[in-house]
Amino acid sequence: MNLDHFGMDTITLAGPLEAKLRAVRAAGFTQIMLSAQDIVGHPGGEAAAIAAVQKSGLRVTGFQVLRDFEGLDGHLHAYKVDVAKAMLEMCRALRSRILLVCSSASAHATGDTGRLVKDLQKLAMLAVPLDIRIAYEALSWGRHVHEYTQAWDIVQSAGRENLGLALDSFHMLANRTPLDTLQEIEPKKIFIVQLSDFLWQEVRSPEDRIETARHSRVFPGEGVHSEKVIELARQLDEMGYRGDYSFEVFNDDYRQLPLPVVAERARRSVKWITGRVARRSLPARRQA
């Protein structure tokens, strides 16, 4: 496990896309997670944003985020399919192999598992010709799917090669989800792991979780749950997960600090994690 396995996320940084790309690159990172806003909000338009990403030399960890996709009916479903297609096309143009999809928080969404499975199968099918993998993430305030274990059940039922999981430490910590069932997940079905911590012990209500998740996350090593983040990373490493780790750190303070200062904090966090997790070169412990 080294710096090459970690990426920053543009949502952590303030300023224009080019400045973010430069800061991340200057801190020694080789990859970056992009948001749709980076692309559509670029003053030069989408093409300029895509060109800037390609010129940066950074690998695109993934593209985010498709929200409230699954479980809708009729015109709502059709509307979301259109949104998904546009997101997939941007994802492809950015040469991102991963589209991040959050479990639905919509009050209009059904919790019928069969329907959720079917909708995610459809999304995965849309992604096949574009060579994109769908990483499904359980939001801790998701309406029906809010634990990674539920997301895993759905991914398993769907049984599609390009549909897997995004694990986000924040949601697991916020919901106090035990990590013991992590071992049941096939490592190759974990497409991306997002790491962050936060500064308070408990976030009890969904409102608290949303508020904290969107404004007050910090890098691992900076919060009060960091040992749990390490435990997660260590378990994943031992299971044989060899994919990317991305810092999903939404933080209002970081968005008013100079970019190199924030990127340096991210780099320090990588060092903090890798110093505590077994080296990747060691063989993975076999699971019974």
Partner 1 sequence: MSTKENLPQASNPLGIDGLEFVEYATSQPQAFGALLQKLGFAAVARHRSREVMLYRQGAMNLIVNAHEAAESAPTLSAFALRVRDAAYAHHHALELGAWEMPTRASAMELNIPGIHGVADTLIYFVDRYRDFSIYDVDFVPLAATDPRPPAIAGLHWFGVVQSILGDRTADWLDFYQNLFGFSVLPRGQYFGVLPKGTLLESPCHKFYLQLVEPPPGAEDVRWDEGLVRVGLGAADVPAAVKALQARGMVFVDRGTVQPSEKGALTQPYLGGVTFELVHSHLKP
Which residues of the shown chain bind partner 1 in the complex (CB under 8 A)?
85, 121-126, 128-129, 131, 160-162
CB of 19 to partner 1, least distance (A): 33
CB of 148 to partner 1, least distance (A): 23
Whether residue 10 contacts residue 288, with contact meaning beta carbons closer than 8 Å, is answered with no
CB of 100 to partner 1, least distance (A): 18
Burial class (CB in 10 A: 0-12, 13-18, 19+), 78: exposed
Q: Among residues 112 and 207, whose Cβ is nearest to partner 1?
A: 112
CB of 150 to partner 1, least distance (A): 22
Among candidates 113, 101, 102, 100, which has minimal Cα distance to 71? 113
**DSSP H helical ranges for 106-225:** 113-127, 148-158, 169-174, 206-215
Find all residues with CB under 8 Å of 142, minimum gap 6, and list them: 102, 103, 104, 105
Whether residue 63 contacts residue 100, with contact meaning beta carbons closer than 8 Å, is answered with yes
CB of 7 to partner 1, least distance (A): 21
CB of 123 to partner 1, least distance (A): 7
The answer, yes or no, to whether the previous bond of 203 is cis (omega within 30 of 0) is: no
Q: Among residues 122 and 234, whose Cβ is nearest to partner 1?
A: 122
Q: Among residues 26 and 125, whose Cβ is nearest to partner 1?
A: 125
- Ramachandran bin of 64, using left for φ above 0, alpha for ψ from -120 to 50, beta for the remaining angles: beta
Q: Among residues 25 and 118, whose Cβ is nearest to partner 1?
A: 118
Q: Among residues 65 and 158, whose Cβ is nearest to partner 1?
A: 158
Q: Among residues 92 and 255, whose Cβ is nearest to partner 1?
A: 92
CA dist., res. 7 & res. 267, Å (int) = 9
CB of 242 to partner 1, least distance (A): 14
Report the SS3 class of residue 188.
Answer: helix
Q: Among residues 21 and 127, whose Cβ is nearest to partner 1?
A: 127
H or E stretch including 51?
helix 45-56
Whether residue 221 contacts residue 269, with contact meaning beta carbons closer than 8 Å, is answered with yes
